[in-house]
Amino acid sequence: MPKTCLHPSSRLARSRAGLSFLILGLLASSLAVASPAMDPQMSYISDSVAVTGAVENPLTLSVADLERFPPQQIGEVEMICDTGVNIGKKENLRGVLLRDILEQAKLKALTPRDFRKMAVIAKATDDYVAIFSWGEIFDSEVGDHVIVYFRKDGAPLGVEEGQIALISTTDKRTGPRHVRWLNAIEVRQLVK
- State the 10-residue block means of pLDDT for the chain, 192 residues long: 36 43 44 47 80 97 96 92 90 96 95 92 96 95 96 90 93 94 95 71
Residues in the chain: 192
Q: Cβ contacts of residue 186 below 8 Å, gap of 6+?
A: 51, 52, 53, 120, 121, 123
Q: What is the pLDDT of residue 158?
A: 86
Sign of torsion, CA 154 126 37 34?
Answer: positive
Dihedral sign for Cα 63, 168, 142, 182, please: positive
